[in-house]
Structure 1
Amino acid sequence: MLLKSLEMQGFKSFPDKTKLDFHQGVTAVVGPNGSGKSNISDAVRWVLGETSSKSLRGSKMEDVIFGGTQDRKPQGFAQVSLAFDNTTHLLDWEGDEVVVTRKYYRSGESEYFINGKPVLLKNIVELFMDTGLGRDGYSIIGQGRIDEIVSARSGDRREIFEEAAGITKYRYRKQESERKLQKAEENLVRLRDILGELESRIGPLKEQSEKAKQFLELADQKKTLEISLWVHTLESSKQNLRQQEDELLLARQNYDTVVRELNTIEEQTQKVYEQIQQLQMQTEQLRLQKEQNEQTSSQRIAKIAVLHNDIEHNQETIQRFQEEIRAFSATSEQLEQQKLQKAEEIQTLQTAMEELQIKLEQLEQQLLQLSQQGSDFSDYYEQLNQRLNHLVLERSKNKLGIVTKQDQLQQQYHQQELLQQNYSRGQSEANANQEELMEVKQLLEQLEENRGSLSNSKQGYQLKLESRKKKQQELNDYLDRLNTEISSYQQRIKILSDLENSLEGFAYSVKTIMKESQHGQLPGIHGTIAQLIELPSKYAIAIETALGGSLQHVVVENENAAKRAIRFLKEKKAGRATFLPLTSIRGNKLQQNLQNEEGYLGLASDLVHYDPAYEQIILNALGRTVVVEDLDDATVIAKKYQYKFRIVTLDGQLVNAGGSFTGGSQNKNAGLLNRKNEISELQQGVKRLVEKQESYQGTKQQLDSQVSQLEAQLQGIDSEMTVLNEDMIRYTGEQKRLSQLEEQQQQRLRDIQSQTDRCALEIERFQQEIKQAEQVVEQSETEMKAMEQELSGLKESRDDLVGQRKELDNQMNQLRIQRAERGKELENAQMFLQELENRSRSAQDRLGDLEQNIQTHQQQIKQLEQQIVLLEEESNNFTEQ
């Protein structure tokens, strides 16, 4: 087995990875002081399992890690790998090369590897046993260890020789096997105790097992019922959900129907509104047409009046012609006489004609002027009237626009009111939602606070429960130890009692006597000295040594009892025994005062307890025996008192009267005297342990009750936490829903506010337009009033002109009539004068002409009357319209 290489990193003075290859022929590592030669040997020792920091020339194991310099930081770990050639398979490891690695961190953690596989330090130590390379191997001898080996004790040198001889591995295996066996024996004892304890618990555990099985069955039934309940609840929830979805679908359908009806109503309303606007425009047009018709009717009425005037004039002319015909017919005889008169009249008529002609020309000139004025006036009047009509139309349009704008304004007011109502309702809903959200947040905060409180309570209860369980476990462990100790005591008592009852350790003869005595065959037997005394265990060895064979001496009532017992032994050939009759044995107590002697403990007879009836027996056996601490004290006291009495030490060494010494190891009878005392002490111990156990049972019950209560409280807290977590999940979802709803409501309020702002702007715009339109209407009405006043003045002027023209027309007509009359008269007179002789013919002609004129005028009257009828019908039609 050859050493192949050594690799170090972070180990002492080797901060960097350093690898040393040991080729064949390498026997030493040389270098100046402080170069790290010793650190290499320390690295080898360390990687092979050295655990002593002092052996590595350090105060603590952390010193093997590179500690840093002024120029370099400290390393966080140290690692050393040592490689061996294992082609000879001297090392019990697979492979031709074995690489042992050890790694140590500043945190104190260590890692061990063999060929890169993690192992324990124990594996490395076992691997190099008997090779001389182990942790304590002789192959690595550090500084100053040669003198240590030379001056070492034989036992230490023996370990080196055993290592060299290859015994160490087997010794180690032996020690490991002994430790395992000892541990197995301890485990067996423990298992017996546990089995004994478990046997006593089988009955209650069986009952608890039955209860647990019943609980599991009931739990399964409960789980099945809960699942059935949840399934039923789920089905009910699904049915309710379907019902709610149907209702929601029906509500949506109703909502869609209402929306469609509302849209239809809005469309109808819009159509009606448009019809109203059209009717208003038609009404305004009809009103304008009515005004025009009224104006036309006035014109027709004036024209009818003119026609009536013409009819009256024609009727007057016809009457005049008729009168003339009658006059001409009546005065035809006087025509001749009137000829002269007529000649005169002709001259007068001519003069009048000239005057009439002048007047007529003047009147025509005036009429021409009036006609020109009337034409100009009519044109201006028509312009004003058209302007007035245009203003009326514009006013109507503006009024219609005002009405439209007012309707739109009312709609905007209505829309604004609806928006305000929606905003108020939305604000109320938002406020209610915010209040609900705040309540949910407060509930969540309260739930979080409750959860924190419950968590704190749970932690407190858990700490209490852990503390109580720890105490419970400690108490159970203590009670188990008490049970174990009681069982051990009871087993020991049983063993000792069996030994005591079977008189184990006593001579066969003594056993035979005592058994016969117990059966009542040998009366007067009190027992052996060992059975009749009690003493502290401290003095057991000393008293047993002092009594020696006297321990098995049998105390009897009297000499007869002794003789009967001897005869019995003789008959049964059961051996020999010594009997101590109470009536014959007398004791002698040492009189020397040894209280002040060093190591003196007392007279042996005073250190034991017995029935006063046996005082002489005890004094005879122990009255002159002194008990001291040790043999040195015994020697001093014996010399001082010239070996006049026996002295026994606590460890059983004996100085006899006369100066002989008896000592050494304890004889085989040791323990006979102590057995009864030990049974008594064990019984007292059991009694104390049972009392202690009973006293702790109450504490255990209290702890069990407290643990149960705490577990129930924790279970209750867990249930509350579960409910609280469910509430928190539910309220968190509700909070999220309300937050989303709040955002939607705020967005809706912002939309409503935006619509309200737009509506306010529309209202302001409509108010401004209405105001402007009213101003235009007011200006139009002002202008119309001025124009109506002007038209009224023009109408009066026109009426005056018409009156003047009518008067002139009447005058001209009269003048024309007069002229025509005068002309006719003149013509008639001239004709009368010129054609007097043709009077009859002329008269007839004249009569024909007059009749023709009458017919002509009558036809004119008919035509005028027809025109009047037509005008009246048109006027009536316009009036009806």
Structure 2
Amino acid sequence: MGFLKQLDVENFKSWRGKQTIGPFKRFNCIIGTNGSGKSNVMDALGFVMGERAVNLRVKHTRDLIHGAHIGKPSSTFASVSMIYCGDNDEEIIFSRCISGESSEYRVNGRQVTLAKYTGELEKIGIVVKAKNCLVYQGAVESIAMMNAKERTKMFERISSSGELSAEYDAKLVALQKAKEDTQFHFNRKKAATAEKKQVFKDKTEAEKYQALVDEHREDKLQLTLFQLFHNEKKIDAQSESLRDMQDAAAQQKNSLDVYEQTVKGQKKEHGRMNRELQQLEKEIRFESQEQILNQQRPQYIKAKVNTSHHEQKVEEARRSLQKNQSQQAKKEQELQELRSELAELEKTWKASERQLEEEAAQRGDGVQLEEYQVKIRDELKELARKKGAVLNQSAEKLHWEVKADCEKLQFDLRRKSEIQVGFSLSATSQRCIKNSLEEQRQQEEQLAEELARGRVRMEEVNEELAQVLTKLQNARLDSQENRRQQRRDEVLESLRRLYPDTVYGRLVDLCQPIHKKYQVAVTKVFGKNMNAIVVTSAKVAHDCIRFLKEERAEPETFLPIDYIDVRPLNERLREVQGAKLVVDVVQCAQSAPQLKRVIQYVCGNSLVCETLKDARRIAFDGPERLQTVALDGTLFRKSGVISGGSLDLRSKARRWEEKDMNKLKEEKDQLSSELRALMKLKRKEVDLKQIMAQSQGNQTRLKYSNSELDSIRKKSIPACQEISKLRSELSNLEAQIEIQTESVELKDNQMKAVRDKINQLEDVVFADFCTEIGVADIREYEQDYLRMQQELEKKRLQFESQHTRLSTQIEYEQAQLEKLVKQMKKIEETIRKEENVVISLKEANSFISLYFQRNKKLWELVLVKLQKETICTEAALEQLRLSKHNLLLSCKIDGLPLTLISGALDDISDIQVRTEGQIYLKQGKSQSVSTLDIYEREAQMVFDYSTLDSGLKALTEESEVEAELEKLKEGVSSLESMIMMSRAPNLKALEKIREVKDSFREVMDAFETSTHTTKKCSQEFEQVKSKRFHLFSQCFEHVSVVIDQIYKKLCRNASAQAILSAENPNEPYLDGINYNCVAPGKRFMAMDNLSGGEKAIAALALVFAIHSFRPAPFFVLDEVDAALDNTNIGKVTGFFRMMSRESCQIIVISLKEEFYSRADALLGVYSMVYTSTHSLVNNSDIKIYCILTH
């Protein structure tokens, strides 16, 4: 049996220099005062056995050198050597040295590594990690106070199963991860299998649907070819008919032109003869009226002047012609009134004459002159008249001269006024024309500017429309699905119209993920609620469902805001790292803030994670399970079900982008509307041309007005000169009139003086006469008695003078009339002859004109008929070409596989784009020209009708063609109805099946790989588990068996019991180990209820039981008797002595005499006088000394 012989220390802790501790006996006690360095012996043994510095009550290895703990190391070197004697008394020296910061290990003086060193120690039964030979101070008490888990750790350290703990945990984690991966791949396998079945099912449905679509396309192709074939036949027939009509119309027009030329010649001849006739009439009128003109020349001059004025006012005279006619009638009425008045005057004259005679007869007593008296009075009166005649004639001459000059001046002034009025009218007309021209110029500039802006905006709209159409073409989806979606959208619009304020729309249209990367995840969480219709209440939802049933529309899901049960959000989830609430990544429309409640209902407390790993970790690794979704659409539910993303999910997620497509469509419609509005500007070009024509006419009229104004100005210059001359003459005349007036006044005064003289003369002359007739003077007689007779005589003379004048005039006019009658007879004979010639010519011309008019009407009727037929034919041809263009455009859009011998359907869109560009960008080119260009390009396309049924091509009758066309349309329509009624399949299933197969194969491979990995991890884990369990159970079973015997020996009572039990029998190292003792004479109670001594005995029993599993050659204990009373010390000492004799060497550090007095040898440790840092040792054999003193 091996044992520890001695211990050599050098500069180690409190041991200065080189000292030897030992030799050791079988049962040794180390004693000494407190602080003398007893425990340093324990530290020296631990140091030489390879313990770390921390377990030796220092921080660093260098602190173990003597004096280092007070900062005064005595050396840079320290060492401890342990001399061990084996079973065959072979000594093995284990040494450990401190050199600087490192340690050196030696065995028998040979330096070795730490591993080799610990290996050599293990050969003699010393396991450093298990500490199976060292019990430090307080270890017994700590063992007594250990809980179940700490005991398990102690057992793992002793059994070395703890070394497998890290590997066990790693293998366990790997196994759990492998199982999770296997479960995940198993769920993926299930999902992939379901997806595969669904794809194959979709494939079958898609093939059936595609067969139906192909049949529909084939029938539609036959219908299109049939329509194109007969359309081209009709176009050819109409074109031929149109050419014939155009030729006939051209021939008819040529004939009409020939007749028009003939008529022009006849009209020219007729005009020449009319001019000759007018010349003859003019000559006749001139000869017959020459004398009259000579007589009326003054009036003619005046009329000529007036005529020049009236010629300029022809337009005004024409307008006032009707007024003048009414005035003429009024003048004639006035003339008639004057004639009546003249007759009345004659009657009045006769009445006045009779009245005067009656008055004269009544004044019978008046003065009645005799005949000789009257004669005398007349002679005297004649004498007086002759004497005053000179002055009267001079005054009267001046009077008439002034009157003539005034009349001439008034005429010139009136003429000047008329010229000025004409000039003012011309100037006013010129200003009006200029103003109108300015307005039209402004309108022209405004329209031109508006047209320019319209053309620029049209270019921008065309570019934007082209971009939108390109985006729409790139984002074009399946046409059948579009029609189905369009039908659903129409139903939704109907619901919105019926319930405008209560139906909000589809959930997908009312919200939007804050970023595109969340689209798939949000689509997965929304699920079937993505296309649900949000309404305000359950009543509205029921009404909508009733409407859908009545309309036989597809079923819809409704979300009433007042009916849904919304759970509150868990605010703590917003603090989870690497995840966000789905509610937070969905943005509601600003117009419907109440939708947050709906979104919270649909999303709940679901979390969206960036990666699949984060989603799995957050879903399952936390204290509670959560529902998470990764960005690729993989959903982890609380129940553990995992549903992966798929292509169908990604196609559904494109609905978020379809909303942008809807915006693009709305933008396209808006731009198209704006484009149509801009096209209306083309109509304003006609207004612009009209205004330009009016402006040009106004410019022409302005030019003529300027010419007329210049002419008037030129004409007004002589008139102005004449007026100036007349004004100067008038001034002279006025001066002369003033002179003459003064002269007349002077002469009047002279005449008055002469009259007075004449009166005096008459008084002298008529003195006897006046006396005879009984009057004062002759003037009284003339004034009183002769006034009436004079008036009567004067009137009589006037009547007689007028009668004489009229008689003379009548005689003269009668003579002239007879002369004119003779001349008129000659002229009438000439006129009659010329009129006969003219009549004959007129009759011939009338006959020719009538013949031409009739023929012209006939030819015009024929031409109009031909033109109408041509227009109808052109319209029919245009309609046929338009129908052909629409057919080709429909084939282009629907993608019908028309076979063309020459040309391509792609040219349709290119031509259309260029045509729009010509229409919108180029001025001077009409839309019809571009349309004809389209038709010409389409006419150059040659189609292959070999696939068209020969029976359909052989049809010639219009009724047969129409009947067959209706039949084909019915077939196509029925197929379209079947397609529309059938459920829209996943048309991408055929493309998707290969991808699904590859994905399924990949999933199966991943599942098999994960299964294999799980098996491998399970095997590795079971190996580690088995090994760990073996090591632990081997130790535990040994200790649990031995501890009871040891405890009985320590207690020296067979009734004492010590029981070890594992909480987890299958894997005891995972849970705690319970240790219970029944002290002698006491009932069973927990370890905590035992006394201190009983706890110490129980702990020592456990220590020695554990030591017995891996027995070391020696066992070192530090103050294990501290908690023991004398009775228990005796029991322990007896047990130690027995153990030292039977199994191992015992070394105990003790302070109690009852304990160390029974040892085989004592080692006294003491310190130097006046110092506590230097320890010494004294070895004594207790067999020799009963008491060791120091």
Instruction: Give the TM-score normalised by structure 1.
Output: 0.26
Q: Which has the higher contact order (CA 8 A, sep 6+)?
A: 2
